[in-house]
Amino acid sequence: MRLAYDGYLFRPLLEDTMMRAAVGIVAIAALLGTGPAAADGKDIYARACAVCHNTLPPKIGDKAAWEPRAKLGLEALVASVIKGKGAMPPKAGNPVLSEADLRAATEYLLALSR
């Protein structure tokens, strides 16, 4: 009986172990949601926008303040969020937010302000 590794003796075991590891990594990635996910406007608003729009004008829920802004349309509002406007920095001060994230947060804010 040979116990020394000759390049072939452990190959099936190694291939099986690598395959199991790969399947495990894919399963963990799926559970963690590492792929693209739908933007959650409420969550993004809470993390990036609420610190200002809960206390400073235009406040969330202030129908009179948001009415003229809503008339500009969603595209114009999202463009303002991306570029920044007045005291609001570009991307609400969070450069990692995607356009989809910013759109979802803007839609959430508008929905609560109509």
The backbone region for 2, taken as left when phi is positive above 0, alpha when psi lies in -120 to 50, beta otherwise, is beta
Per-domain residue ranges for the chain? 1-35, 41-111
Contact indicator for 75, 11 with CB cutoff of 8 Å? no
Please indicate whether residue 27 or residue 107 has the higher confidence score (pLDDT): 107
For residue 101 the two structure tokens come to 């994230």
The residue written with tokens 């993004």 in the block is: 44
User: For 33, how many CA atoms within 13 A lie in the half-sphere containing its CB?
Assistant: 4
Q: Give residue 82's pLDDT.
A: 97
Give me the mean pLDDT over the 9-29 stretch.
56
pLDDT digits (tens, 9 = 90+) for 47-76: 999 999 999 999 999 999 999 999 999 999
The CATH label, of 1.10.760.10, 3.40.50.10300, 1.20.1300.10, 3.40.50.300, for the domain at 41-111 is 1.10.760.10
The residue written with tokens 């116990």 in the block is: 3
pLDDT digits (tens, 9 = 90+) for 98-109: 999 999 999 999
Could you give the CA distance from residue 44 to residue 31 in angstroms, rounded to a whole number?
A: 21
- What percentage of the chain has pLDDT greater than the value 70? 67
Residue 28: which pLDDT band, with cuts at 50, 70 and 90?
low
Q: Give residue 37's pLDDT.
A: 52
Q: Give residue 99's pLDDT.
A: 95
Question: What's 85's DSSP letter?
Answer: B
